[in-house]
Chains A and B, each alone.
Chain A
Amino acid sequence: MKITKSCGAGRQEANDIFIWLEPNEKEEVAIKLESVVKLQFGKQIEKVIRETLAKLGVTSASVTAWDSGALDYAIRARVETAVRRAGEV
């Protein structure tokens, strides 16, 4: 399934993450991540975003994530909320 509408969830506050979804012309999930913990946890955060999208059946989206140190469960919740707001689930 493709994301067809721009939509966001979360907050740019300490221990939270803001996820912004946009349509992607290509059939892929592209992730742009800014994070205070990118050096230590950048790969892990991208992995959690990808896995959550895959679980929800999203195959095409441009994701921009501004992370302020969210834990995995918060990242999953924000990604899922953004997808639901986009009306895709």
Chain B
Amino acid sequence: MRNALGRELPEYIAGYGEVRPFAGAFAHAGEINRKAVKVKGDWSSPNKVLDSLGGALEKCGLKDGMTVSFHHHLRNGDYVLNMVLEEIARHGIKDIKVAASSIFPIHQPLVKHMGNGVVTGLYAGYISGAVGEAVSRGVLKNPVVMQTHGGRARAIEAGELHIDVAFIAAPTCDEYGNMNGLEGPSACGVLTYPAADAYYADTVIAVTDNLVPYPACPIEITQEYVDYVVPVELIGDSAGIVSGTTRITNDPAGLKIAESAAQVIEASGLLKDGFSFQTGAGGTSLAVAAYVKEMMKEKKIQGSFAAGGITEYMVEMLEEGYFRTLFDGQCFDLKAVESLRRNKNHQRMSMSMYGNPSNKGAVVNKLDVMILGATEVDLDFNVNVTTNSNGLLMGGSGGHSDTAAGAKLAVVVTKLIRKRFPIVVDSATTVTTPGETVDVLVTERGIAVNPLRQDVLEKVKKAGLPVKTIEELKETAEKLTGVPEKVDFKDKVVAVIEYRDGTVIDVVRQL
């Protein structure tokens, strides 16, 4: 069958189930029933500390076929996922489903567990590194389910993704399970990814390398959700937890793209008091923020909030008064962690609060402008950030689809050609985010506005910006690169890409 974007999908996928086809960005947003949670209260001990991970596995009765979950605030420095899976393998437990908020190169040992049947299923918002390559080559028994950040929270709340045991890496934790990410050798800032896991898993286990006396204030995940606490030597490598300082790009093409994007924002009329904004942590995205900052300074504008993954640059904009608030879903560097510690206007948000389409209102709905990246953009403005043009799994939505759907103006910034790959293509290798939620594409060789947004097109034209049709951009690219030959895939579905409402927007097939 074909979904609303014309993507060919099987009606049933082994290891996934019936496919609910994507029917439009807002077709299924709204009502759900939140699942009931089993609670086995233990009144007998004032202390939830267990000796070891092995003891914890026995205590929670982990067995074949169960689902365990992890968060990725420790990013490419996370030791906990590997540590837990090693222990699961040692216990001879098989057929485990891993529900991780994201997978990084450090999780390479997962490939071994996938190969020998310890792990047979995987859920993730984003996958980079060896695990993505192994999945693309068909190593995992069941297809990976790729979710958006908001979609993951929704699926957990609705009971579509049931977590038997949540393992929460806790940079600081007390003996009764109160956690925060602010202190300790593996401090990572907010603990927002595991919120739904903590509230809805059958069993919640905190894994910490900084056990402190009760209570571990300021508490982010609170004791009434936590079953056990397991102290270990180290939960992460601090060098991999926070990325190095992200700098504004000095690449002339990147700067040109950023300047054009800022001009589009200005032309849109959204740049006024109360302006809200999100951008990524990449060099070009940060450059957009820098240009926007100049405009805000000139026009004496104060924004209401900046959201997303928080970097030093965003902290500076908060402290210099360009925004009243930061909504923080993830701290990218230590400056962000410090700011979170001391500034009450640096506000945490869970992934449900951030982007869930089926709660009582997500932050993305209040977003004026979102700056997005892309691996490919097709002629309908559908965006791929999940696979590269070779079809290799190397990314995922994260908050991409959530913010595109919520923001008043979703702007994709990308070079038109990257390593000979034309970025604007007839049909994207994979679709992550539907074109109806993407408003403008900004490249170094021109700007294309989605024909669905005639209002924006008019304003951008009126501002004298270099507007082209997306077809023109495609031709410009192909004149330089040539027309790419089609890549062949095998039939096996290796990844199911769920839109934020849980419908299937696309699948990835084996290389």
Is B167 in contact with chain A by the CB < 8 A criterion? no
Known: A71-B481, A72-B482. A41 touches B390 (CB 8 A): no
Q: What 0/1 pattern do residues 405 to 442 of B give for CB contact below 8 A with A?
A: 00000000000011111000000000000000000000
B420 and A39 within 8 A (CB): no
State the majority secondary structure of interface residues on B: loop
The distance in angstroms between the C-alpha atoms of A39 and B485, with both chains bound, is 7
B contact residues vs A (CB 8 Å cutoff): 389-390, 417-421, 480-482, 484-485, 487
Q: Which residues of B contact A14 (CB under 8 A)?
A: 418-419
Residue of B417, B419, B420, B482 most packed against chain A (CB within 10 A): B420
User: Could you show 20 A-B contacts with beta carbons less than 8 Å apart?
Assistant: A14-B418, A36-B419, A37-B419, A39-B390, A39-B487, A40-B389, A40-B390, A40-B421, A40-B485, A40-B487, A41-B420, A41-B484, A44-B482, A68-B419, A69-B418, A69-B420, A69-B421, A71-B420, A71-B480, A72-B482
A70-B420 contact, Cβ under 8 Å, with A41-B482, A44-B482: yes
Say whether A37 contacts B421, CB under 8 Å: yes
Instruction: Indicate the size class of the contact surface on chain A.
Output: 10 to 19
Residues of A within 8 A of B (CB): 14-15, 36-37, 39-41, 43-44, 68-72
Chain B residues whose C-beta falls within 8 Å of the C-beta of A68 in the assembled complex: 419
Given A44-B482, A71-B480, A71-B481, A37:B487 Cβ within 8 A = no
- B residues within 8 A CB of A37? 389, 419-421, 484
Contacts of A70 in B (CB 8 A): 420
In the assembly, what is the distance between CA of A41 and CA of B389, in Å?
12
Query: Would A15 and B390 count as touching, CB distance under 8 A?
Result: no
How far apart are the CA atoms of A66 and B484 in the complex, in Å?
19
In the assembled complex, which residues on chain B have CB atoms less than 8 Å from the CB atom of A36?
Answer: 419-420
Q: How far is the CA of A69 from the CA of B421 in the complex (A)?
A: 7
Supplied contacts A39-B487, A69-B420, 4 more A-B pairs, CB within 8 Å: A39-B485, A41-B484, A69-B419, A71-B417
Give Cα distance in the complex from A72 to B417, angstroms.
13
Q: Is the CB of B418 within 8 A of A40?
A: no
Output the least CB separation between A16 and chain B (Å): 10
- Contact partners of A44 in chain B: CB under 8 A: 482
User: Would you call A15 and B484 a contact (CB within 8 A)?
Assistant: no
- Cβ-defined contact, A43 with B485, below 8 A: yes
Contact A41 B419, beta carbon cutoff 8 Å: no
Residues in A with CB closer than 8 Å to B389 are: 37, 40
- Closest residue of A by beta carbon distance from B419: A69
For residue B214, give the distance in angstroms from its CB to the closest CB of chain A: 52
Closest to A43 in B: B485
With known contacts A40-B389, A71-B480, A71-B481, A15–B420 Cβ distance under 8 A: yes
A32–chain B nearest beta-carbon distance, Å: 19
Q: From residue B422, how far is it (CB to closest CB) to chain A in Å? A: 9
- What are the residues of chain A within 8 A of B485 when measuring CB–CB? 39-41, 43
